[in-house]
Structure 1
Amino acid sequence: MKQPLEGIKVLDLSRVLAGPLGSMQLADLGAEVIRVEAPGGKDDIRHWWPFVEEESTYYLSANRNKKSMTINLKQEEGKALFKKMAAQADVVIENFKTGTLDRLGLGYDTLKQQKEDVILCSVTGYGQTGPYKHLPGYDPVIQAVGGLMDITGDPEAEATRVGTPVVDIMTSHYVAISVLAALRKRDLTGEGEHIDLSLLDIQVASLGNISSSYLLKGHVSKRMGNAHGNITPYETFHCADKPIMVAAGNDRMFYQLAEVMGHPEWKEDARFKTNANRIEHRQELREQLEKEFLKKGADEWEQQLSSRNIPCGPVNNVQQVFDHPQVKARDMVQVSDHPKVGKMRTVRNPIKFKHTNIEAKSHPPMLGEHTIDLLKEFGLSEEEVVELRNKGAI
């Protein structure tokens, strides 16, 4: 079956999460993605707990459908080999600290000499320019610097990072989007591109309504726990057994909620009639709603509220997520074979095409698993491969 990115070759120098997750999106869509790693393995993510058959589950989550080869980019022979490969590649992805690729003699200008229309995607914490460009950037640090932590968590407690590496995940999406856009531009103009992605830029761009409230009104948003600063009721409530999230996003939904709660009079109550009224009397409304929610379990409330098209759902742990009937119906878990792990369950790519199947085609590669085959694919002879190995270049 034809794949959307069939025929696109990607050299992936990136490590840890943002870059590898982005290249995995391209691999899922059919690109040939080749992880270029240092001999001995320098990618921290390969060593992060927990492990299954000595393979990091963290690494396994971000590297399906790729190949792996090792090259020592600090050796001249290794650099020459990478340049030869770049001459046949469409895209190079890297997330070294700003300036590292240039110091290795493999920056954008050099890669352009190998292939005029090459696309280089550089992912860094702070970008290729600015006073912080030389600093490393890890997800929780960017969550802190970029304002996300300050608006996350209980208002009476300390600022809290989001439970997943959300900045890395968002950045991975921009990796895929920007590479696809650059490929399209190349199709139209024949020009390559150097993409400069900064985790901080992406976090700032993802502040959404929080940034708009500040830039247009001067309003500095504060932590509100699970509540919403602009809409209410739009938060979690304790039920008889566990919490439920309710997002009554407009007046019509609130009126339906009032009916289900057995308080139709709230619809005409001057304190609750409009969202602006409810914001002004937020605490009074919450106290009354909490009394009602405590009378039944979250699942029962979910059934009653959902029957009125009020967005809601219980707060599930990860086991409950994968037991959820909708998650199962959407077939979000796939099973693939791994040479060490055996049958491996992983999350499926959420993109669903009507006419194209993009499910996992190969396991996350072990370090250097495809080195020899790939070198021959790039035109090296058996003798050249042996020579590179003897010199420690691969």
Structure 2
Amino acid sequence: MSDILKGLRLVEASAFVAAPLGGMTLAQMGAEVIRIDALNGGLDARRWPVAGTGESLFWSGLNKGKKSVALDIASPEGRELAERIICAGGDDAGLLLTNFPPRGWLDYDRLKARRGDLIQLTIQGDRHGGSAVDYTVNPAMGLPFLTGPDAANSPVNHVLPAWDLITGQMAAVGLLAGERQRRRSGQGQHVKLALEDVALAVMGHLGFIAEAELGSRREPAGNHLFGAYGRDFVCADGARIMVVGLTGKQWSALVQATGIADRLPATEARLRLDLTQEGDRFKGRHAIDELIAPWAAGLTLSEAAVALDAAGACWGLYRSVDDMVRSHPNCATSNPMFARVAHPGLGEVLTPGIPLDFVGRDRLPPAPPPRLGQHTEEILLGVAGISSGEFAKLHDRGLVLTG
């Protein structure tokens, strides 16, 4: 089994996307990830999308494979129990992931006084600790003005919370890096990760910042691939496909599949472009569109697919989410990443594990999310070290919840 992180214990106090995703990433590699929630659940316990029962598909999807402890964290006794769970354990424990303000029972210095080698990773909105979410950070990056039709007069928000997703993965990397450093030095640390900084860093990595500093103003390109050639086309039966000629090989394959080779010299001469160069393909994109559009419009999807596949072209079919679930060959249990798993309150759902494939090791099967408080007794007795009698008293006083 690819439980490559077996033995590692992480405590998570979180909500929404980035932090839960970071914790789940580690859980799906075999780490023991313990969620600490309030008695009525986390802030995102009922986040849409929801099933007809009201169960959050969002929460269920981002907390697979974790253990749930539900405490009255508004009470001193509940906060004390939370701190004991965070700071308990041996060399493979003492890791905390949160996107809540690091104060009170989540204050690093307070926790460090109990466990000197604690590793805490705190996800923040900005580097000053201010509030921000993907839907406020992304507008500040300028990308909504580049998304949408060519002549867009207003910004178009992206439906995918990209910065949250990158931040979640980076949180997992940061925790593992901190744990490696602790193994070498014996020292813990407080790692801060700002959502806005993640976005700014990526904008720099992809050349957006340098482009703006050097005086270039990028305009929205609609469904065209920026900087090379790629665009969507409608086939004779109404199916929509995306074709890409980013690399030289992809471009040659697309030219072969669409049969436009003999018309390219005249296009290049007229536009004074060399279409073997990816930048020139972007400059000449509209002329290339005019060559490919009749080819696509004259073929059904199956006919276009045969031609594109025979040439080894890079292309994809536009599907609705419903279509993807029904017909995408890799969104199925034939893909070893997936299994059908019973989720609490939802029934059996097609469920992904981690995309990483550790060659030579079997995949860890996808696990369901926990019920709220499902592991409260197990963790308080086995990790926090309280007795069964103490647990009974806490339960009777309504300070803990068992799922």
- TM-score (norm: length of structure 1): 0.89
Indicate conservation of the 8 Å contact 1:302/1:314, yes or no: no
2:141 maps to what in 1?
146
1:359 maps to what in 2?
364
Change (3 A) 1:153 1:2: closer
Change (3 A) 1:26 1:52: farther
In terms of mean alpha carbon deviation, does 203-212 or 305-314 score higher? Answer: 203-212
2:168 maps to what in 1?
172
1:363 maps to a residue whose letter is P
Map residues 87-102 of structure 1 onto 2, 5 A cutoff.
87-88=87-88, 89-96=93-100, 100-102=101-103
2:126 maps to what in 1?
126
- TM-score (norm: length of structure 2): 0.87
2:240 maps to a residue whose letter is P
Alpha-carbon distance in 2 for matches of 1:266, 1:108: 66
Alpha-carbon distance in 2 for matches of 1:94, 1:163: 24
1:273 maps to a residue whose letter is D
1:350 maps to what in 2?
355
1:370 and 2:375 correspond = yes
Moved over 6 A (4+): none
Indicate conservation of the 8 Å contact 1:86/1:114, yes or no: no
Change (3 A) 1:342 1:281: closer
Residue from 222, 226, 229 that aligns with 1:229: 226
1:179 maps to a residue whose letter is L
Gaps of at least 5 residues in structure 2 are: none
Structure 1 counterpart SS, 2:233: strand
Indicate conservation of the 8 Å contact 2:344/2:369, yes or no: no
- How many residues in Structure 1 have an aligned counterpart in Structure 2? 384
2:99 maps to a residue whose letter is N
1:289 and 2:292 correspond = yes
Cα displacement (A) at 1:382: 2.2
Map residues 239-318 of structure 1 onto 2, 5 A cutoff.
239-240=235-236, 241-269=238-266, 270=268, 271=271, 273-274=274-275, 275=277, 276-318=279-321
Cα displacement (A) at 1:291: 2.3
Identity of aligned residues (%): 27
Cα displacement (A) at 1:202: 1.5
Cα displacement (A) at 1:324: 2.0
Cα displacement (A) at 1:114: 1.6
Indicate conservation of the 8 Å contact 1:25/1:176, yes or no: yes
Cα displacement (A) at 1:161: 2.2
1:117 and 2:117 correspond = yes
1:341 maps to a residue whose letter is L
Cα displacement (A) at 1:73: 2.8
Alpha-carbon distance in 2 for matches of 1:303, 1:367: 50
Alpha-carbon distance in 2 for matches of 1:238, 1:216: 38
Structure 2 counterpart SS, 1:343: strand
Cα displacement (A) at 1:34: 0.7
Change (3 A) 1:303 1:203: farther
Cα displacement (A) at 1:393: 3.7
Cα displacement (A) at 1:216: 5.9
1:320 maps to what in 2?
323
Change (3 A) 1:298 1:206: farther
Change (3 A) 1:315 1:49: closer
Residue from 316, 335, 343 that aligns with 1:338: 343
* Cα RMSD for the two superposed structures: 2.3
Alpha-carbon distance in 1 for matches of 2:302, 2:185: 55
Cα displacement (A) at 1:53: 4.1
Change (3 A) 1:281 1:6: closer
Cα displacement (A) at 1:68: 0.7
Structure 1 counterpart SS, 2:196: helix
1:35 maps to what in 2?
35
Cα displacement (A) at 1:317: 1.6
Structure 2 counterpart SS, 1:83: helix
In terms of mean alpha carbon deviation, does 159-168 or 308-317 score higher? Answer: 159-168
Alpha-carbon distance in 2 for matches of 1:326, 1:267: 36
Indicate conservation of the 8 Å contact 2:244/2:254, yes or no: no
Alpha-carbon distance in 2 for matches of 1:106, 1:317: 42
Cα displacement (A) at 1:332: 4.0
String of CA shifts for 1:141-176, please: whole Å, max 9, x gaps.
222123332222112233222222222222111111
In terms of mean alpha carbon deviation, does 20-29 or 188-197 score higher? Answer: 188-197
Cα displacement (A) at 1:375: 0.8
Change (3 A) 1:287 1:63: same
